[in-house]
Amino acid sequence: MRFVPLLTVGLLGLAGAVLLMPASSAGAASTSVSLQGERFMVVSGRAATFADTRASGGAGLVQRTDGTVTGTVTTGPVQELVLRLRGDQFRGAPRAVVHVDGRRVAALSVSTTRWTDHLVHGAWAAGPHRVRVSYVNDLSVDGAGDRNLRLDRVTFVAVAVPMPTTTGAPVPTTGPTVTATPTATATPSPTATAPASSPSTDAAYEARIVELVNI
């Protein structure tokens, strides 16, 4: 079996994005394009990259204050956006507001300290898409704690609908035609009928009896 290596979209002009090859399953295939968090640009606030062996690219982006980071991904037609996030918890979970192409698509509460996928459904046409992730509820108390939002990656996914399996109409089985054999009906035998006596024979018989009586 020959394995096809993953192609970095940097080779295709999309720095920092990764194109995942289609995966077939029960007649369906899905494709996805990801952009690593450390490739996002800081629009406002204070954010920095950090090393993390559990992150998909070995690094992530931490937003330490309220602010916005942005990145652009070029895709085909896609129906899902997956954000892989985790948070530094302090008196509540960090919140993220997500925009795609200037439109708000999600407001997320990131209540886990482990990398977790957050799924957003939508419908985006083929082309470049600008993703903005805003951290909106920073809290830091000296000597007590610090709430932060951490981003591993964002992924656009094109979900294919499995093609229905076509089943042909059953072909009738043609067998030999069975013809019923007619049952023979017995012909009744004629009943023998004794011939009727003629009048002359009866008269002669009676005369003989009279003759015998008179002797």
**Res 52: pLDDT:** 97
Q: What is the dihedral of CA 76, 79, 84, 87, to 10 degrees?
A: 130
**Res 109: pLDDT:** 98
**Res 2: pLDDT:** 41
Instruction: State how far the Cα of 155 lies from the Cα of 132, in Å rounded to an integer.
Output: 13
Q: Which of 124, 121, 122, 161 is nearest to 30 (CA)?
A: 161
**Res 61: pLDDT:** 98
**Res 160: pLDDT:** 77
124 contacts 100 by C-beta, under 8 angstroms: yes
Instruction: State how far the Cα of 10 lies from the Cα of 17, in Å rounded to an integer.
Output: 6
Tell me the torsion sign for CA atoms 37, 38, 43, 46: positive
**Res 15: pLDDT:** 39
> Which domains, and CATH codes, for the chain?
7-159 (2.60.120.260)
Instruction: State how far the Cα of 204 lies from the Cα of 20, in Å rounded to an integer.
Output: 131
The DSSP symbol for 43 reads: E
pLDDT tens sequence for the chain (215 residues): 443 333 333 333 333 444 443 333 344 568 999 999 999 999 999 999 999 999 999 999 999 999 999 999 999 999 999 999 999 999 999 999 999 999 999 999 999 999 999 999 999 999 999 999 999 999 999 999 999 999 999 999 998 766 666 665 565 555 555 555 555 555 555 555 545 545 555 566 566 655 655 55
